[in-house]
Amino acid sequence: MAEHNISGQKAEEKAALFLQEKGYEILERNYRYKRSEIDIIARKGNTMIFVEVKYRSGNSYGDPEASVDEKKETHILSGAENYVFDKDWNGEVRFDIISILRDRTIEHFEDAFG
């Protein structure tokens, strides 16, 4: 397996643990629908949260969260729409980004697409 895939998996695991420590229930990991992949789907209270995890070993190319562009958002929104429909979810929905740099702590951007 490529090193970047291993780093990505470790970052997603770290993000999932971070969310659980904050009281989130992890519902799905690496949910796929057509061209969409959602790293983490979680729930806290009456809110379902779709989380994109971004990891970089350094910030010479900018902060990890900056790499979530409009195209990526569109794919995540499509996958989330399908998931909400499939689960017949009627509660709130939110889109977050968790940014992880090797040399600093996790940053959690709530309602990142809003």
Indicate if the pLDDT at residue 91 is higher than 70: yes
Strand, helix or coil for residue 92: strand
User: Domain for residue 32, yes or no?
Assistant: yes
State the CATH number of the domain containing residue 19.
3.40.1350.10
Task: Report the pLDDT value the prediction gives residue 30, as an integer from 0 to 100.
Answer: 95
Count structural domains, the chain: 1
**Paired strand residues for 69:** none
Q: How many CB atoms lie within 10 A of CB 34?
A: 9
Backbone φ and ψ of 72, nearest 5°: -65, -45
Which residues are within 8 A (CB) of 99 and not within 5 positions of it... i.e. 6 or more apart? Answer: 54, 63, 64, 65, 106, 107, 108, 109
User: Domain for residue 88, yes or no?
Assistant: yes
User: Domain for residue 49, yes or no?
Assistant: yes
Domain that holds residue 89: 3-109
Surface-to-core class of residue 14, CB atoms within 10 Å of its CB (0-12 exposed, 13-18 middle, 19+ buried) = middle
The Cα 58–Cα 48 span in angstroms is: 31
The Cα 66–Cα 54 span in angstroms is: 9
User: Domain for residue 114, yes or no?
Assistant: no
User: Domain for residue 9, yes or no?
Assistant: yes
Task: Report the pLDDT value the prediction gives residue 9, as an integer from 0 to 100.
Answer: 85
- pLDDT single digits (tens) 23-66: 999 999 999 999 899 999 999 999 999 999 988 776 666 676 77
Work out the pLDDT band at 94, boundaries 50, 70, 90.
Answer: very high
User: Domain for residue 22, yes or no?
Assistant: yes
User: Domain for residue 18, yes or no?
Assistant: yes
